[in-house]
Amino acid sequence: MDLEVVTVGTELLLGFTIDSNAADIARALAEVGVRVVRRVTVADDEAAIRDAVAGALRRSGTVITTGGLGPTSDDRTKRVVARLFQAPLELDESYLEELTHRFAQFKRGPMPPSNRSQAEVPQGATVLPNRRGTAPGLILDGPLGTVVLMPGVPHEMRVMLNEQVLPLLTARREASGEPALVIRSRTLRTTGVTESGLASALMDAEGRLESVSVAYLPGVAGVDLRLTARRLSASAAEEALDRASHHLVSLLGARYYGRDDTDLAAVVLDALRRRDQTLAVAESCTGGLVGERITAIPGASDVFLGGTIAYANASKVRDLGVPAALLESEGAVSEAVALEMACGVAQRFRATAALGVTGIAGPGGATPGKPVGTVWLAGKVQHRERAVGYRIPGGRREVRGRAAQAALDLLRGLLVPE
């Protein structure tokens, strides 16, 4: 089954709102063997909506729209599609009653008159209840084809898609007798290696993968490898991804740290847990990013004791015990100071493992021999210590984010020696 997606919203075209709906729909449909062959975004304009939906129906016969179902003057999708299907709007008394009850239940005061329009349903349409919002979804079937209308609010759309639309489309595909040829993807996460370095290392292996393509996705945290198996049965796709993943992971070695949404901070916490270690961090240029990464992981409190943001040199001396003479002789951004920061925070929190991060995030602050992006990291696990220096490219955000990731990777290396 092939279909097209039309997302409606002037704010999407202006760039103020990211169109996450189209991506979520495409991923979800690929999982059940329904292929999105075209995606179009249009403004809150009746002519543009009509042309986009009518064109999609002519090409594919099935269309999903998001947006334009609300109670305000710029919500026009329902009216346009109703006219296209020659289905006049009729008041759904049961939904109006439900909507009125919902406003009373949440003590929002009397329901505004404009919300009454959300209970108007095109004649013959199927109503899809919206558990997260006030705009119901709709399905219209007719000689033109099928249009599924869903709200534009992402969390409302995702619930409706997963609970109601996907089962419907799956049932229709099965009834048509078409085989379920799915598109499945898997992500292998790497860090500490560039995109070009990774591509060179995997060049020969990539060409020998069966039924799986590889995409390289660089980011602040590292380079993700997106493996994709297309137009296979679900079982064949999973088997192909298993074979490809196993082969590539064996080649990646320590550069690989997890699959799909794995966070390196979670990997480090698990390693600390297994070794009955506790952790403290001392941060300068990252300003708490390492601690934020760690505490974003549920259950971090059984390992993570705390941290110190020692931004000024006086704080490094007062809070971490870094010798003032060392700061004077080596500078705050140096191997020696990073090690003293790690040792100082370990002593302060009585932790068995620690990290120290110091650097120049920019755009100012460079000194002779220490340009913007110079970062020193130190890790300590009991009596083992290691310090590494980097010149990290990018602006302030990239330098800080990559430094935090590199610090976590340094600790991982100390906990799981190569």
Q: What pLDDT, in 10s, does the model give residues 201-233? A: 999 998 889 999 999 999 999 999 999 998 899
pLDDT of residue 379: 98
Please state, rounded to an integer, the average pLDDT across all residues of the chain. 94
Residue 108 has pLDDT above 70, yes or no: no
pLDDT of residue 24: 95
Residue 144 has pLDDT above 70, yes or no: yes
Those residues whose C-beta lies under 8 Å from the C-beta of residue 45, and which sit 6 or more positions away, are: 10, 76
pTM: 0.79
List 385's β-bridge partners, or say none.
380
Q: Are 344 and 381 in contact (CB under 8 A)?
A: no
Residue 149 has pLDDT above 80, yes or no: yes
Q: How confident is the model at residue 88 (pLDDT cuts 50, 70, 90)?
A: very high
Residue 89 has pLDDT above 70, yes or no: yes
CA separation for the pair 339, 146 (Å, rounded): 65
List 84's β-bridge partners, or say none.
none
Region 80-102: mean pLDDT is 90
- 272: Cα within 13 Å, side-chain hemisphere: 30
2-17 as b/e: b if 16+ CB within 10 A: ebbbbbbbbebbeeee
Region 189-208: mean pLDDT is 93
